[in-house]
Amino acid sequence: MTVFSRPGPDLTDMLRRLRARPASSWGHAGREAAARSALQELADLAADACGEIRRTVPDVGVLALPDQLAVLAADAAAAGVPSGVVAGILGDLAERLAVRPSP
């Protein structure tokens, strides 16, 4: 299980909770926009770290957002983006999406 240094949910728990959300819940309180912003930020950081051009993260539907988050967080880490930076993005997103760790 991956646990980030910043207080907040670990990625595994966060993804489990996000995958359980119905598609309609992504339309509330800017959740979809917040997730897409975090995805793009992770993708941009990974591209910058690898010296590649930035690319727009494709919209493949709201139900794929948790999977895209998992892939792009892993890509950013593999590209050498500091774990604290990735953790910060994920922690901020968890807060915006009201995803809290399991008790």
pLDDT, tens only, 30-51: 999 999 999 999 999 999 999 9
User: Which mean pLDDT values do the consecutive 10-residue runs of the chain (103 residues) have?
Assistant: 42 88 90 96 96 96 94 92 90 86 54
* Whole-number pLDDT of residue 8: 39
Question: Looking at the domain assignment, is residue 75 inside a domain?
Answer: yes
Question: Looking at the domain assignment, is residue 5 inside a domain?
Answer: no
Q: For the chain, how many structural domains are there in total?
A: 1
| Domain membership of residue 28 as a residue range | 11-97
Predicted TM-score (pTM) of the model is: 0.86
Question: Looking at the domain assignment, is residue 6 inside a domain?
Answer: no
Question: Looking at the domain assignment, is residue 81 inside a domain?
Answer: yes
Summary mean pLDDT of the chain: 86
Q: Which residues contact 35 (CB under 8 A, 6 or more apart)?
A: 26, 65, 69, 93, 97
